[in-house]
Amino acid sequence: MNHHYLIHLPHSGIQIPIEYIDDYLLTKEELEKNIYQYCDIYTDELFATLYEAFGGVKNSYSRLFFDPERFGNDEDEEMHKRFQLGWFYENAILEKKQLRINKNKALIRDFYDKHHKKLNKLTHEKLEKHDKCTVIDCHSFSNERYWFHDKNLELPDICIGFEDMHVDYHLVNIIKNEFSGYNVKINTPYAGSLVPTDYWQKDKRVKSVMIEINKKLYLESDNITKSKNYTKIKQKMDNILVNLTDN
């Protein structure tokens, strides 16, 4: 289907290349638990119809290997400066302890750069074809708070994020309407939405809207097992596709 939308799935992956596994200082069990608890688990399935319709970039690697949503320059990234959780995580997630040694950071950076190169390339192709491109940045988040979170923050069911320069209000309203009756917040607890690096704060033809789904809406309390509500949330993602393609 030809359309100006582009799907970004940055955190659905769980892979760590075998040649880098010895860099990690956690036990095998600790590492696996950190990977699965902090993964945006099943978002690749929840947003599958959108991805198949519009195309995009899906990261198969765990964010504990590299996180494409963080700024590439550590000095620009607040999560790095405050918690050592930039594009290259130095701390674990479930408790504050050193995650890995950083001797291969420069090599791992190549994976990060390739991810963004592909995202920029697809954005360029959408602009060439449609003179506009809207990224749908697809996430979920845990209702459980970790050591670097504000534990007093009230968490919504759905968070919609965007920056004023790059917002597509048509898409924002479609998401809000689909989740009417749910607790929907704008830019809280997560703010902004990833804009491909070649276009961020440069080209208003490139829009981006982030959708964050609270895992409690589709998972059991273990944060891993699909709940009986999973199908209902998946249907809402499919409804968003119908609304986008009907307009």
161-192 confidence digits (pLDDT tens): 999 999 999 999 999 999 999 999 999 999 99
Percent with pLDDT over 70 in the chain: 99
Q: What's the CATH code of the domain at 186?
A: 3.40.630.40
Domain of residue 145: give its range.
Answer: 5-246
Looking at the 3D structure of the chain, how many domains does it have? 1
pLDDT at 1: 53
Average pLDDT, the chain: 96
Residue 114, pLDDT above cutoff 80? yes
Taking the C-alpha atoms of residue 155 and residue 157, their distance in angstroms, rounded to an integer, is 7
- The first and second tokens of residue 107, run together, are 């090599």
Q: pLDDT tens for residues 45-82?
A: 999 999 999 999 999 999 999 999 999 999 999 999 99
Residue 42, pLDDT above cutoff 60? yes
Taking the C-alpha atoms of residue 97 and residue 124, their distance in angstroms, rounded to an integer, is 40
Which of the four pLDDT bands, split at 50, 70 and 90, describes residue 247?
A: low
pLDDT at 151: 86
Which of the four pLDDT bands, split at 50, 70 and 90, describes residue 152?
A: confident
Residue with tokens 């009417």: 180
DSSP assignment of 117-154, as one string? Answer: HHHHHHHHHHHHHHS-EEEEEEEEE-SS--TTS-TTSP
Which of the four pLDDT bands, split at 50, 70 and 90, describes residue 205?
A: very high
Residue 246, pLDDT above cutoff 90? no
Task: State the average pLDDT over residues 204-213.
Answer: 98
pLDDT at 120: 98
